[in-house]
Amino acid sequence: MTANVTELDAAKRAAPRIRSDVRHDWTRSEALALYNLPFMELLFRAQSIHRASFDPNKIQMSRLLSIKTGGCAEDCGYCSQSAHHASGLKASKLMEVERVINEARKAKASGATRYCMGAAWRSPKSRDMDTLVAMVEGVKGLGMETCMTLGMLSDDDISKLSHAGLDYYNHNVDTSEEYYSKVITTRTYADRLDTLARVRQAGIKVCSGGIIGMGEGADDRVGMLVTLANLEEHPESVPINMLIAIPGTPLENVEKIDPIDFVRTIALARIMMPLSYVRLSAGRTEMSDETQALCFFAGANSIFAGDTLLTAGNPGEDADSRLFTKLGLSPETLDDTFDATSKAPQSCSGISGDEAGQRNVRTS
Ligand code: SF4
């Protein structure tokens, strides 16, 4: 049954992705109205938009490695790696290049097409750049896409990473501009947007999303997505994380988000950024199979594979494989990958367009 559906839709999806519905002028009120639609209506709209551009039964698989853990100067309230919080995490130095490449090789063998490397830094030191460049070159040499999340970057850092062939840079906005200062005080929302803009200008693809369940309201979730969707080009990758409240961090006692509200956020991301990969990121260990299935139906089409995300747990290959079998999903290959940058028509201006810190998702 699943195969037939896929075959029937294949021709439609193979057609040029000429999309006149990609917008960069969302208002908060119209986005909030979508978020608050009756749940079935919202999911139907999101799924319809999703399958106009993507195979609804394929999921892009990334793997994330912490190449430098803990001791970070920033004070992100969700993050175990911040030196400001008593999470008990032991800091480590930047990993050796060979070790990173070996880990990437294993990730590729297990089906990952993109390798994400995260360092717990406010920004990289210039003495580390040669090592970071060698990591990018080495992982690309394996035939994988590369992503890094290193905090704020100077123009020189960006230029070096770009020349090394870095495909994606992850730098999450985390939440709405209004709620941001309740979570992070050591750098501003504007700092984040500035880094994203300069990375984009250098031709590196952007990965940017946020964390849901930090005590924010629906208006903040919507506000975060309006910020991302109104960028000149949509991020190619939009990670949506569910907070894992970590002991020792300021958010350890925050109230858990209702999974239905989380699914609503995924659906809204899909509707507002129809050509982006929406990644179901941190927090999957705390989600039921049913919640994850709803997220995929709402338009999430990327996950992190493996049993760890930086310093925390992730479902692992066996659990994902069981879930994929139950749902009739399969991993996307690099040949399947939809590259909005190269396939979108000129007329769609803006389409021609890490992860993750909590214990598992850092958002440098
Ligand atoms: S999320 Fe990133 S920048 Fe923030 S404290 Fe954690 S490692 Fe540092």
Share of the chain above pLDDT 70, in %: 85
* 72 ligand 1 Cβ < 6 A: yes
Q: Which pLDDT does position 19 carry in this prediction?
A: 58
Measured from the Cβ of residue 304, the count of other Cβ atoms closer than 10 Å reads: 28
- For 18-55, what is each residue's pLDDT tens digit? 456 799 999 999 999 999 999 999 999 999 999 999 99
Q: Which of 17, 192, 200, 207 is catalytic?
A: 207
Predicted confidence at residue 339, as pLDDT, reads 59
Residue 10 lies in a domain: no
172 lines ligand 1 (CB under 6 A): no
Task: Give the closest residue (by CA) to ligand 1 atom 7.
Answer: 120
Q: What is the pLDDT of residue 312?
A: 64
Query: pLDDT value at position 68?
Result: 94
Ligand 1 neighbourhood includes 362 CB (under 6 angstroms) = yes
CB burial of 175-200 (b: ≥16 within 10 Å; e: otherwise) equals bbbebbeebbeebebeebbebbebbb
Sorted by sequence, the CB contacts under 8 Å of residue 104 that are 6+ apart come out as 63, 65, 115, 138, 139, 142, 144
Helical axes 289-297 vs 317-327, angle rounded to 10°: 60
pLDDT tens for residues 95-118? Answer: 999 999 999 999 899 888 899 999
Q: Is-contact 8 57, C-beta < 8 A?
A: no
CB 206 within 8 Å of CB 235: yes
Q: Would 270 be classed as within a structural domain?
A: yes
Give pLDDT, residue 337: 66
Residue 350 clears pLDDT 90, i.e. is over it: no
Compute the average pLDDT of residues 224-243.
97
Residue-level pLDDT at 271: 97
Residue 253 or residue 5, greater confidence:
253
* Residue 310 in contact with ligand 1 by CB distance below 6 A: no
pLDDT given for residue 347 in this prediction: 26
Q: How far is the CA of 102 from the centre of ligand 1 (A)?
A: 25
Separation of alpha carbons 129 and 356, rounded Å: 21
Q: Is 146 in the pocket of ligand 1 (CB under 6 A)?
A: no
Residue 304 lies in a domain: yes
The pLDDT of residue 3 is: 41
Contact indicator for 169, 207 with CB cutoff of 8 Å:
yes
How does residue 284 score in pLDDT terms, banded at 50, 70 and 90? very high
Q: Compute the half-sphere exposure of residue 116: CA atoms within 13 Å on the CB side of its CA.
A: 36
**Averaged over 42-71, what is the pLDDT?**
94
In a domain, 219, yes or no: yes
Instruction: Among 71-80, 135-144, 272-281, 353-362, name the one with the lowest average pLDDT.
Output: 353-362
Q: What average pLDDT is seen over the chain?
A: 86
* 14 inside domain: no
Number of domain units in the chain: 1
CATH code (residue 208):
3.20.20.70
The residue annotated as part of the active site, out of 147, 192, 200, 270, is 147
**Boundaries of domain holding 216:** 30-343
Exactly one of 19, 45, 63, 76 is catalytic; name it.
Answer: 76
In a domain, 361, yes or no: no
Q: How far is the CA of 74 from the centre of ligand 1 (A)?
A: 6
Vertex 359 angle, CA 286 and 80, to 5° = 145
pLDDT in tens, 300-349: 999 987 666 666 667 777 888 899 999 999 998 877 765 554 433 322 22
Q: How would residue 215 be classed by pLDDT, with cut points 50, 70 and 90?
A: very high
Q: How many angstroms separate the CA atoms of 17 and 67, rounded?
A: 36
Residue at 59 is within a domain: yes
What percentage of the chain has pLDDT greater than the value 90?
74
Residue nearest to atom 3 of ligand 1 (CA): 364
Active site residue 207: yes
Could you tell me if residue 215 is inside a domain? Answer: yes
**pTM (2 decimals)?**
0.86
The residue whose C-alpha atom lies closest to atom 2 belonging to ligand 1 is 364
Catalytic choice (45, 72, 264, 284): 72
